[in-house]
């Protein structure tokens, strides 16, 4: 399977401090990745406001490598990695990632970030798949730099006609709050 990586840079200047990533699918039954679907809805509704790295391969080595390389190219203040969680029903902002019994936490105040967002909750379990590894490696990279950069992982449920509008609204609010950090 051939993967296409691309970064889309906004023509706007004030909000280009955020890099948002999404994955491709990894199972044959998946017509698309919900995180990428949500990102596409965001772009269609709000315009091309941020940097985007979409359709990352679901690969434990390639995904973190590509995200860190892109981060280093553009040096955004905030890195938001998004992945699909088919069993979840709300956006899940992940507090931490765990790898080889080591845990790294985001420095973002998740309680303030999710305040009054009905379709968003804080999760303390990023899972043990590529999402977790990407989040861990991203946090590790940013921590090593001792800089003012922030990182967050958001798990996205499958979008339906019933939930897509509310999930998109919550996602927009999260990005607005992150841009204000």
Q: What is the pLDDT of residue 146?
A: 78
Q: Which of 179, 122, 156, 150 is nearest to 39 (CA)?
A: 156
14 SS3 class: coil
Mean pLDDT of the chain: 91
* Predicted TM-score (pTM) of this structure: 0.91
How would you list the strands of the sheet with 120-123, edge to edge? 6-8, 51-56, 18-23, 78-84, 150-156, 91-94, 120-123
DSSP state at residue 67: H
What values do phi and psi take at 46, rounded to 5?
Answer: -105, -10
Q: What is the pLDDT of residue 49?
A: 85
Q: What is the pLDDT of residue 47?
A: 81
Residue 4 has pLDDT above 50, yes or no: no
Beta bridge partners of 98: 103
Torsion angle, alpha carbons of 53, 59, 61, 63, to 10: 10
> Which residue bears the tokens 């790294």?
104
Least confident of 16-25, 101-110, 169-178: 16-25
In Å, the largest CA–CA distance within the chain is: 42
Residue 54 has pLDDT above 60, yes or no: yes
């Amino acid at each position: 399977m051939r993967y296409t990586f691309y970064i889309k840079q906004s023509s706007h200047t004030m909000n280009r401090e955020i890099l948002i990533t999404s994955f491709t699918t990894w199972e044959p039954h998946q017509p698309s990745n919900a995180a990428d679907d949500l990102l596409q809805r965001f772009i269609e509704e709000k315009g091309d406001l941020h940097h985007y790295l979409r359709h990352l391969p679901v690969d434990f080595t390639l995904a973190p490598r590509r995200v860190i390389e892109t981060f280093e190219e553009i040096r955004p203040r905030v890195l938001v990695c998004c992945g699909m969680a088919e069993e979840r029903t709300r956006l899940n902002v992940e507090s931490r990632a765990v790898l080889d019994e080591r845990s790294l936490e985001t420095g973002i105040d998740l309680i303030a970030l999710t305040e009054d967002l009905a379709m968003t909750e804080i999760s303390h379990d990023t899972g043990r798949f590529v999402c977790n590894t990407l989040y861990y490696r991203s946090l590790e990279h940013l921590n090593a730099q001792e800089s003012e950069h922030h990182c967050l992982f958001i798990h996205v449920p499958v979008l339906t006609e019933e939930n897509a509008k509310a999930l998109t609204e919550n996602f927009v609010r999260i990005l607005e709050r992150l841009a204000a950090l």
